[in-house]
Homo-oligomer: A and B are copies of this chain.
């Protein structure tokens, strides 16, 4: 069986050279007589890997001084709790921009620890758009302003960074981090689950401005306290070492490919091709407002819903995997993260045209 094109929204496809390297490193890693999964996180070899991964990520994202990079467990969803627990700092409210399923979940979890306010929402008729910032209600008393730059399910993406004034800006970057350069200095904190553009499930990256760390609520579980994790270099307990290793390989792969500028060009080209094909047809339709169409997750609906099942069956047979749309949107969704080759997008476009011709 050859490798097929896997459009899964996450866990998502990995770069082929990364998979090849993982295989080569089994069952021995670095001539140690042991695999990377079996060595102590406190041994010299793993510590070197961890430090190099952090350095490479900092270089790719050009992280300015004054930030800490944490490699944690639990997924972005655990950060839905950790963010208010750490960043409320005695304040009673925080602002949330609600642009879809994931920002809504983050908002709900914050309600456990404070009285969050919805600064803006696209619920209802405008599900597939982002309210203009001029219409947001920002609260100067908010501990932070949280938003979700890319909503994985609806495929709604910010192509701009909100202005939060003096209030720290917080972003769930899970499905957009490393897809393009990012001005980290604009943020108080960003976080991202690894299973889309960083590597595999089990690792969560948090990048946080140092001055925001150190005032966690007293009920914060020790491992969720950023100060505790920062002090122990993310090794307060055994980290998810294998996922950290995979991330280090992905960072190397991005660097070798020219870094985030090159990645952005590539991603934009892939996305524009696919949206172009969808827009050129009456058979397919993308529901998202043009200015906030995601480069990473492209939902598309068939004019005739009755054809969904055969589209899925035939696309799978054609080697195009995991195209089923999320039930909240229906139809199809192609997740085309960094690791999806342009050839995969080309194959999808070709299949879509062929399917339309035969329908």
Roughly how many angstroms separate A34 CA and B195 CA in the complex, as a whole number? 14
Contact between B73 and A75, CB atoms less than 8 A apart: yes
Q: A27-B19, A27-B23, A240-B202 given as contacts; is B221 within 8 A of A109 (CB)?
A: yes
Listed from nearest, the 6 A-B pairs whose CB atoms lie closest are A4-B33, A81-B221, A202-B240, A77-B237, A202-B202, A19-B27
Q: From A1, A35, A38, name the one whose CB has the most chain B CB atoms within 10 angstroms.
A: A38
Copies in the complex: 2
Name A's B-contacting residues (CB within 8 A).
1-4, 6, 8-14, 16, 19-20, 22-23, 26-28, 31-35, 37-41, 43, 73-78, 80-82, 85, 109, 112-113, 193, 195, 200-202, 217-219, 221-224, 236-243, 246, 319, 321-322
Q: Return A239 CB to nearest CB of chain B, in Å.
A: 7
Q: Hey, which chain B residues are within 8 Å of A10, CB to CB?
A: 40, 238
Roughly how many angstroms separate A68 CA and B238 CA in the complex, as a whole number? 25
Q: Return A61 CB to nearest CB of chain B, in Å.
A: 22
Roughly how many angstroms separate A75 CA and B74 CA in the complex, as a whole number? 9
Could you list 11 A-B pairs, sorted by A, with CB under 8 Å?
A3-B33, A6-B38, A10-B40, A26-B26, A33-B321, A78-B221, A81-B223, A112-B222, A200-B242, A202-B202, A240-B243
Roughly how many angstroms separate A28 CA and B195 CA in the complex, as a whole number? 18
Contact between B81 and A222, CB atoms less than 8 A apart: yes
